[in-house]
Amino acid sequence: MVNLSVNLCGLKLDNPVIPASGCFGYGKEFAEYYDINILGSFSFKGTTLEPRFGNPTPRIAETASGMLNAVGLQNPGVNHVITHELPDMKAYFHKPVIANVSGFSIGEYEKTCALLDAQEQVGIIEVNISCPNVHGGGMAFGVSPESAAAVTKAVKAVTKKPVFIKLSPNVTDIVSIAKACQDAGADGLSLINTLLGMRIDLKTRKPILANTMGGLSGPAVFPVALRMVYQVCKAVSIPIMGMGGVSSARDVIEMMLAGATAVQIGAANLVNPFICKEIIEQLPEEMERLGINSLQEIIGGAHA
């Protein structure tokens, strides 16, 4: 019998399949379709210190082999998540979850992460550094090694649980940023976030998204994500959660060979709400076909 389990910073997962933040909410809707306890874990909706309504509509646009989103981090705020979403979650998910955190200043990151770190259900904190730094001219925290390291160091100072920094692909050199996060104390890395893109309506001759640009996700970004996971894996010694266009059991295995310990599935959940369940069910068959006895043993196998 094949072994699907992996160890992520001391957290043993039954399998490496994790729905990505923003594409699975708090799991409640998906729990109506299937028992989501089959998942390794899931990363819940990106959470900020204060509630956010998000960007104006339209904020979703389809593309070939993917989609664009400019949702704008709509969420009810960390206090609502702690008092309502996490208690409700206990009824339908019985494993540690991943808390995805966003912020617009280092102080916001610190406060939100400290609050979520204290929650029993939270096993890992995932810090999204693709947000614009309101005190630094609006540039995303994740575009320079210095600002990425500053967020990492600040969050690690107020937390005890493993911290994974979620990296943006919209940079010249993702490796230097990954190294800076590791040096600043990150326990792991998540990559990649969405690629910046846009669409234009030929009738109106205006951008389709009200925000003009949005994040590209879906199968179109998989080769880029795979390349970045491979590059970062060669440069750091901390675990990686790989994501970006993953939509099959074979994609999961490929991402793990590139260096991922766990694999997040995002946009595919919006196309097929059963996709994570199906991938978990198909993994043993794919492993047997490929002569893989244990997923833990293939992590970074493409580097050998």
Which sequence positions are flagged as catalytic?
Answer: 131
Phi/psi of residue 126, each to 5°?
-110, 115
In whole angstroms, give the CA distance from residue 103 to residue 46. 10
- Are residues 150 and 174 in contact, defined by beta-carbon separation less than 8 angstroms? no
- Are residues 165 and 190 in contact, defined by beta-carbon separation less than 8 angstroms? yes
21: number of CA atoms within 13 Å, CB side?
29
In whole angstroms, give the CA distance from residue 117 to residue 134. 24
DSSP letter string over 86-115? HHHHTTT--S-EEEEE--SSHHHHHHHHHH
